[in-house]
Amino acid sequence: MAAAKSFYDLSAKDIDGNDVSFEKFKGKVVLVTNEMSAMAKELGPKGLEIVCFPCNQFGWQEPGSEAEIKKFVEDKFDFKGVGVNMMSKIDVNGGKTHPVWQFLKEKHPGDVRWNFAAKFIVDGEGNVVERNGDSAGASKAKIEELLKPLVPA
């Protein structure tokens, strides 16, 4: 597979094993993370798409199968009508790092240090504009700024 030149060149398997082309996110603000985000319910209706990749590299906090993870998320959160895209479990660090995370970390380098510690924000043109660590507030402020031109007044 050739190296991706754009976020939209990427693809991954969703939690059900279906291939998902990231072209579907053209024109949208996207938050890529390895955990579910509390921002989904608030900012999803405003146009935010969340692409969530479960990962078991941090203290074995995500040991379940895709089916178990999906059931847990569906039971715990109500994301109907919100742009939450649950992806298959992957590695975000090391020799088996998923190509999506390789791409993101090329744009904003550094290993993910802990679960919940990396959120990448992609603007409506597919540019990886920010990487946030533990500061959800900073992520939210940046996302709200990017969403403004995309949301009708």
Q: Which CATH number goes with the domain that contains 37?
A: 3.40.30.10
Best CA proximity match to 123, nearest among 56, 31, 42: 31
Number of helices followed by number of strands (H, E) in the chain: 4, 7
Task: Report if residue 136 sits inside a domain.
Answer: yes
Contact 49, 20 (CB under 8 A): no
The residues that bridge with 122 in the sheet, in sequence order, are: 30, 128
Q: In this predicted model, what pLDDT tens digit does every residue of 35-80 receive, in sequence order?
A: 666 677 777 777 788 898 888 877 666 778 889 888 887 787 776 6
Q: Is residue 24 part of a domain?
A: no
Separation of alpha carbons 69 and 2, rounded Å: 31
* Residue 138 falls inside a structural domain: yes
Residue 23 falls within a domain, yes or no?
no
Question: Where do we find the tokens 């900073």?
Answer: 138
Summarised one tens digit per residue, pLDDT across range 15-28 is 999 999 999 999 99
For residue 81, is it within any domain?
yes
In a domain, 20, yes or no: no
Q: How many domains does the chain have?
A: 1
String of b and e for 38-49 (b: at least 16 CB within 10 Å)? ebbeebbeebbb
Element containing residue 12 per DSSP (H, E): strand 11-13
b/e code 53-66 from CB counts within 10 Å (16+ = b): bbbbbbeeebeeeb
The C-alpha atoms of residue 136 and residue 104 are separated, in whole angstroms, by: 18
Per-residue pLDDT, 87: 92
Identify whether 11 is part of a domain. no
Which of 85, 106, 21, 29 is closest to 97 using CA atoms?
A: 106
Flag whether 79 is in a domain: yes
Residue type, 69: I
82 lies in which domain range? Answer: 32-55+64-89+115-153
What's the pLDDT at 94? 92
